[in-house]
Amino acid sequence: MQTNPVIKLAEIHKVYHTGEVDVHAVRGISLDIFPGEFVAIMGSSGSGKSTLMNMIGALDRPSGGNYLLDGIDVSTLDRDALADVRNEKIGFVFQGFNLLSRTTALENVEMPMLYNRHRIQSHEQQERAMHALDLVGLSQRADHPNQLSGGQQQRVAIARALVNKPSLLLADEPTGNLDSQTSIEIMGVFQKLNDQGITIVMVTHELDVARFTKRMVILRDGRIVTDEVVQNRSIAENELQRLRQEQQAVKLAS
């Protein structure tokens, strides 16, 4: 049985008119991503992965081609409609966490629900936010973000991305600001969520991180050069165990 893709990109182009030279950042990308997939989009800087990510995230519109997100043609929508699509269909996780430091973790998680087109009762907002924090293993911490560690902050950000039950979780270098152990822990969170059926697209330039996903798409100069299933997939639990053993070994040796 073939289900409809969550993301259907057809001959997507993006041209930036900055200064005298037009920059052709994305030159004809076609890509289908189906529910339950866990995809890493890789490439060096300038490969067009950030541009592609912005368009998938409905932050930007393509200059040419068609983009269907969950059956909606995003390429023709106006600003407000794009905002609604982001609110309902997409959960963002950023490299710099992007939490609001003046509000508590719980309020950060509740924030997307403020912009829902259908009003949500405040007690239901709180319930859903608590549930989302539960999913990322942070139900005990409802403090201010600046009292949390980097890994905890990123978990709050993931909870915020999940709270509106999006069709797609979009992560932009989610481990870029984290040490290797925390990175593995966060990848573990993603893997757990993916096991529960959530579709995840992650942009990264680290091969180590990409190996936790199921499918790797590599870009160069605005085109897809590789699109393959991940062989020898890393499993977060195993990786963590190995890391601990290594640390143990270092301690014993010294």
List interacting residues with other proteins (CB under 8 A). Answer: 54, 57, 59-60, 79-80, 83-88, 92, 94, 98-100, 111-112, 114-116, 160, 164
Residue among 58 and 210 whose Cβ is closer to other proteins: 58
Residue among 107 and 185 whose Cβ is closer to other proteins: 107
Cβ burial, residue 124 (10 Å; 0-12/13-18/19+):
exposed
Beta strands in the chain (DSSP E): 7-17, 22-33, 38-42, 64-69, 72-73, 90-93, 168-172, 200-204, 215-220, 223-229
Shortest Cβ 55–other proteins spacing (Å): 10
Residue among 89 and 215 whose Cβ is closer to other proteins: 89
Shortest Cβ 112–other proteins spacing (Å): 4
**Residue 253 main-chain phi, psi, to 5 deg:** -65, -35
Shortest Cβ 86–other proteins spacing (Å): 5
Shortest Cβ 251–other proteins spacing (Å): 39
- Show Cβ contacts of residue 204 under 8 Å, excluding neighbours closer than 6 positions: 40, 41, 42, 173, 174, 175, 176, 210
Residue among 34 and 94 whose Cβ is closer to other proteins: 94
